[in-house]
Structure 1
């Protein structure tokens, strides 16, 4: 039996920090769930929420949280909007939402379904002939719920690492360039055979929206969602690498351990799979309108909430994730991770919601999400 190979020093430290972090969160959750007295429970929930937000901020530059329910809303925040600043964040700042963009895109596609302009179980070849390999057997539904099997273009190393570099972070990509990268690789599996999250699916769906409407997909999101809901803090930046102020800036750790400001990046690399910018309040408003049936029909919402398993308590519908709570019940929403930002926006059927941002590139933000979801939805 060979001896275990020791982790490099940096990796060992990062692993120990991650384990310590997860242990802290676990203890906080267990402590919260063990409390039964009403007064103590409310106090413990508030202490857990504030503590988790502060710990989240330590993973990066800032953490923001908004919890809402019928007739009530509260925002927690910790940290600063940019490294070296002294003014604290307020919770009103803009940030990149990454893959939460997919829920906006799926909503527009389902509006087009409601208008009988596209069919969920029709092959994508019918609408975009010659674009997608196996397009005759890949349906619109399979693109929406990541069961198409299409290779994720973001898995190609040179694309994913461009975010860290200087000039490369400002490169422009066209959607068809991104698809060429994806289609140079074989599919993961036959359409419908399994689930595999792939940003490629939503680039195709962005092109589908443009083909069906004759307008840029970003214009359709603005016209159909942002303007009716008055989401003034939400935008689709296109080639503009900046985030409108007030904003939380993103920092990451470079390969040599240096802290790098990665706020500015050309989001054409993500396009319809993850380019959007928003705020806690706007995401809360959007999710409320969507799940209340104010953006799509009840039948379309039912289709959106038909899920396939993802793992770790999650399942995936049509641009909408379901998360099963450890205390029972479930949430609907989506998470997003983009270099320097991790965001989650989820809502329960009774109207209680939780929207959060951790300005960090750390995977440990999921532990913060778990703690906050438990505090928000289980401690009642």
Structure 2
């Protein structure tokens, strides 16, 4: 997303110390969450899992000036975590012979983007496509003017392609949300169905992710949820509701910590992809050393390797991480307040206790 929790990447590099998850100190987790809230985040919820045992924790409020705590099983906008779902579907289609990772996208979507860009380039953010989010008014004052506007995916791609490529395809890794809008269009072209329907049939229903959806135009979050805010001209504005079509295949997912934990457990455990595509999912390169295909792959200083993704859209930030053997896992969401300070120390404490 154009609005992501950029601090997460820095945290994964900085995290050190702690204990094995089997001995995780829940008080430390709670202290870390409380510090995140004290830094200016309105509320946070977390699900921590060790093998088949898990616990949840929360801190802060579900709404500004209220008394209701963040719901343990509340739904939230999961932002760029959507990308892992989209990449998974593309890799399933690869396994079925419907598409090839190293074929030009133009073979399937003629004339849409530069003919040198392959499917792999999209999923690994090495296409060179300009990020259309950088061309949209996603600052608080600007987004307020477009928050209920419907966007067609082709409009978002056109914003990107109105600019030249930022580098030759395959030359470097540079995160661009446009890559996944194109990937979403590719899925629809290959299947003849909407992206939302395909994800539902291939992932949501088989895994019984009953609290997860990809809303195309519905501006509401259905079911229990916290509310997100930001400041415009120094005044708090509730930004919970907006038309999610602006973030479509790049980040319009609504989910829960439980559902995201279930999805990443199934994905990392090899239940959604065949072995060849599973290897492609987590394969990194010298050009893209910490990003596979829709999935971050990082080794912490303490030696623990984690797979996952973070996400951020107006009002919400999220993070899911798992060890490759799925033995240690965390899913977290935060609803933002009108003024957000630096949640890094608190989040660092949480991740350090879980994984290191």
TM score, norm. by length of structure 2: 0.89
Residue 120 of structure 2 is matched in structure 1 by 141
Match of 2:3 in 1: none
For residue 339 of structure 1, report the CA deviation from its aligned partner.
1.3
Deviation at 1:358, TM superposition (A): 1.7
Tell me the alpha carbon deviations over residues 131-168 of structure 1, each in whole angstroms, 9 at most, x when there is no partner.
Answer: 11x22x11100100000000000011x43237754452
More displaced 10-residue stretch of structure 1: 290-299 or 322-331: 322-331
Is 1:229 the counterpart of 2:207? The answer is yes
SS at 1:210 equivalent: helix
Contact 1:147 1:194 in 2 (8 A): yes
Q: Stretches of 4+ moved more than 6 A in 1?
A: none
Q: Match for 2:226 among 231, 248, 262?
A: 248
Q: Does residue 42 of structure 2 align to residue 65 of structure 1?
A: no
Q: Which residue does 1:353 correspond to in 2?
A: 329
Distance 1:263 1:198 in 2: 24
Q: Using a 3 Å threshold, how does the CA distance of structure 1 residues 252 and 308 change in structure 2: closer, same or farther?
A: farther
Following superposition, the deviation at residue 42 of structure 1 comes to: 4.6
CA distance in 1, matches of 2:94, 2:313: 29
Counterpart for residue 267 of structure 1: 244
Q: Tell me what 1:305 maps to.
A: 282
Asked if structure 2 preserves the Cα contact closer than 8 Å seen for 1:146 and 1:195, the reply is: yes
Following the alignment from structure 2 to structure 1, what is the Cα–Cα distance between the partners of residues 285 and 148?
36
* Equivalent position to 1:337, from 312, 324, 327: 312
CA contact (8 A) 1:105 1:205 kept: yes
Q: Which residue of 1 aligns with 2:30?
A: 50
Q: Would you say the 8 A contact 2:129–2:165 is kept in 1?
A: yes
Range with bigger deviation, 365-374 or 100-109: 365-374
- CA 1:162/1:268 → structure 2, altered by over 3 Å: closer, same or farther? farther
The gaps in structure 1 that reach 5 residues or longer are 1-24
Separation in structure 2 between the aligned mates of residue 270 and residue 302 of structure 1, nearest angstrom: 28
The separation in 2 between residues aligned to 1:203 and 1:116, in whole angstroms, is: 22
Based on CA coordinates, which of the two structures has the bigger radius of gyration? 1
Match 2:161 to one of 179, 183, 195: 183
- 2:86 is paired with a residue of what secondary structure? helix
The separation in 1 between residues aligned to 2:212 and 2:345, in whole angstroms, is 26
Contact 1:335-1:344 within 8 A present in 2 as well: yes
> How many Å separate the matches in 1 of 2:254 and 2:56?
19
Query: Contact between 1:152 and 1:182, CA under 8 Å: does it hold in 2?
Result: yes
Q: Please, which moves more after superposition, 79-88 or 202-211?
A: 79-88
Which one of 88, 110, 119 corresponds to residue 107 of structure 1?
88
Higher share of residues assigned helix = 1
Distance 1:308 1:213, change over 3 A: same
**Which secondary structure does the structure 2 equivalent of 1:355 belong to?**
strand
CA distance in 2 between counterparts of 1:170 and 1:162 reads 14
Is 1:159 paired with 2:159? no
1:232-257 residue CA offsets vs partner (Å, 9 max, x unmatched): 11011111111012011111122x22
Q: Give the secondary-structure state (helix, strand or coil) at the position aligned to 2:311.
A: strand
Provide the C-alpha distance between the structure 1 equivalents of 2:189 and 2:143, rounded to a whole number of angstroms: 34
Q: What's the offset of the Cα at 1:71?
A: 2.1
Distance 2:143 2:104 in 1: 38
Q: How do residues 76-155 of structure 1 correspond to structure 2 at under 5 angstroms?
A: 76-132=57-113, 134-135=114-115, 137-155=116-134
Give the superposition deviation at 1:88.
Answer: 1.5
Q: CA deviation at 1:52?
A: 1.0
Aligned to 1:238: 216
Please list the CA deviations of residues 44-64 of structure 1 after superposition, one character each: whole Å capped at 9, or x if unmatched: x33321111112223222111
Larger mean CA deviation between 353-362 and 209-218 belongs to 353-362
**How many residues are aligned here?**
340
In 2, the alpha carbon distance for the partners of 1:138 and 1:364 equals: 38
Structure 2 CA distance for aligned equivalents of residues 88 and 173 of structure 1: 34
Quote the Cα distance in structure 1 between the aligned partners of 2:184 and 2:314.
22
Q: 1:181 and 1:154, CA in 2 relative to 1: closer, same or farther beyond 3 A?
A: same
- SS at 1:194 equivalent: coil
RMSD (Å) for aligned C-alpha atoms: 2.4
1:320 matched to 2:307? The reply is no
Quick check: 1:292 aligned with 2:273?
no
- Distance in 2, Cα, partners of 1:331 & 1:263: 30
TM-score, normalisation: structure 1: 0.84
Contact conserved, 1:151 with 1:182, CA < 8 A, in 2? Answer: yes
Q: Which runs of 5+ in 2 are unaligned?
A: 1-10
Correspondence for 2:234 among 246, 257, 260: 257
Q: In 2, distance between residues paired with 1:345 and 1:253?
A: 27
